[in-house]
Amino acid sequence: MNIELIFQIAGIGILTSILHALLKQAGKEEYAFIVTLAGVAIAFIMVIQVLSQLFNQVKSVFSLG
């Protein structure tokens, strides 16, 4: 469990939105959309991994199944 996770995700988010704005301004709107989608996918996968770790821990603490 690392505290840096939120900073990483916030960083990816800000970076993605900057790239999105740049690409949009350069006229390449489709690329902007793809970049945003890729960023969301990457951050989502990171969050899902931590979420599954959390569920395993919750299962062991509550000793469910």
Partner 1 sequence: MEALQLVMLGITATMLALFVRERNKEFGLLVSLAGGILLITLILEPLGTVIMGLRGLALRGQVSLAYIDIVLKATAIAFLTEFAAQICQDAGEGALAKKVEAGGKVLILLIALPIFSSVLDGLLALLP
**Contacting positions for partner 1 (CB under 8 A):** 1, 3, 5-7, 9-10, 12-14, 16-17, 20, 36, 39-40, 43-44, 46-47, 50-51, 53-55, 57-58, 61-64
Query: 26 vs 58, which CB is nearer to partner 1?
Result: 58
d(CA 36, CA 64): 38
d(CA 22, CA 61): 47
Distance of closest approach, residue 32 Cβ to partner 1, in angstroms: 12
Tell me which amino acid residue 62 is: F
Of 8, 63, 62, 65, nearest to 39 by C-alpha is 8
Query: 27 vs 62, which CB is nearer to partner 1?
Result: 62
